Structure 1
């Protein structure tokens, strides 16, 4: 797990649940500790298209944050491009969830 001292920021996550008659539907928002990396980089989304990401958020293991979710960090509302579970399978690695946002 990421060391607690690295989780210097707070994020509000609204998990994407699907599309409704009036647009995206989000689950109940929750607050979690995180580490924010504001760096512009080119990434691929779930469909394989190249997209520019402005923010990467590192969350505790087990955090649910699917593609399309809204994440508010540092006063900015971002949309999740994709997320990855980084799990070392028992190795002494900093397990976490990496969330790449627009």
Structure 2
């Protein structure tokens, strides 16, 4: 009987160790999920900031070309033509 008792004790110890490992892994999983959520929020914030900076860059590029820079004249002319077309379209809509 003592052999069976030793086997049962060994099995019980192994089960307890496995339960502790499972609990540790679940805790680590939760921590990783929190980290992942924080990282996703940081990425979203950075993407928003990048888009704002791109828009600001385009605005500065157009303003620079309007001030006489030859670098972006073509882009500025295209943008102005696009704005004129939009204004003409709005006027046509209002006229109807």
- Normalising by structure 2, we get a TM-score of 0.15
Tell me the TM-score normalised to structure 1 length: 0.15
Larger radius of gyration: 2
Name the one with the larger strand percent. 1
The structure where helix makes up a greater share of residues is: 2
